[in-house]
Amino acid sequence: MNEHIVSSYDEDIKDLQEQVVAMGGLVEKIWMDAMDCVKNANDKAALQVIESDKKIDSMELKIYDKSMRLLALRSPLASDLRIVVSAMRMASSLERLGDHAKNIARREKLISTGDHPEIISLLTRMYDLSHSALQQAINAYRNSNPGSAEEIRANDARVDELFDSTVAIVLNLMAPKNPPLETEALASLLFIAKSLERMGDMTTNIAEIIIFQETGSFPTDERPRGKDHQGGLMESLAEKEKDI
């Protein structure tokens, strides 16, 4: 094959991966801003999250376009094919992470952080674990490190356990006698907890994509879960979230 063509092909693959890393960096930032909204009732940060999510959507489309061009014009094989397929799947997971951050930002005005310090503390711990895992996943992708990705899978159970604790506290506080604004605030805290739990799940998805890219196989063992994890408890609420 012509040396110039080979060089151009390698540059296309490298550029695709750099686009994924850049998208991951923006998703890391949007989650920092989303949690700033939760902890500090930061209206400015909420607006930044909503605007950044639009850019994330655009980045996903560019990665898809680049990937489809590579598939159509370069016909990549073996490890290169896995890189292209993984980039598309990574972009999809990162875009969904951006959507969850945006949903949190939209609820910023519905919660009063000073009224429920124990819940905010649990949410912050969930965020710290999930955001650290996301950073680790982006670095694992950048450095082609499946071992680091395996660590992310093993640690997701801790987020599940914090989620279950948060749900238990919120449901215990909910009562028919609560004023409407309090009920709305507690419901919003539940949705935020669910978004953080999904952040952990999607970061684990990304870790599994990295493992596939580097080894050619997805993990076949069951993901570690928190003891008595009740992730399905929030599914009906998550459906209602789409209408907000």
Query: For the segment 37-46, what is each residue's pLDDT rounded down to a tens digit?
Result: 888 877 888 8
CA atoms of 53 and 99, how far apart (whole Å)? 7
CA atoms of 186 and 110, how far apart (whole Å)? 9
Which pLDDT score, from 0 to 100, does residue 111 have?
Answer: 78
Which pLDDT score, from 0 to 100, does residue 119 have?
Answer: 92
Which pLDDT score, from 0 to 100, does residue 59 have?
Answer: 97
| Cα-based angle 19, 21, 24 (whole degrees, multiple of 5) | 110
Which pLDDT score, from 0 to 100, does residue 93 have?
Answer: 97
pTM to 2 decimal places: 0.87
Which pLDDT score, from 0 to 100, does residue 184 have?
Answer: 86
Which pLDDT score, from 0 to 100, does residue 229 have?
Answer: 55
Which pLDDT score, from 0 to 100, does residue 8 have?
Answer: 84
Write out residues in the chain with pLDDT < 50, as ranges: 1-4, 236, 238-244
pLDDT one-digit tens code per residue, 72-100: 988 888 899 999 999 999 999 999 999 99
What domains, with CATH codes, occur in the chain? 3-241 (1.20.58.220)
CA atoms of 182 and 197, how far apart (whole Å)? 23
Task: Find the helix or strand (DSSP H, E) in which 161 lies.
Answer: helix 146-173
Burial bucket for residue 35 (CB in 10 Å: 0-12, 13-18, 19+): buried
The candidate with the shortest Cα–Cα distance to 22, out of 94, 86, 125, is 94
pLDDT one-digit tens code per residue, 103-135: 999 887 777 656 788 999 999 999 999 999 999
Which pLDDT score, from 0 to 100, does residue 243 have?
Answer: 42
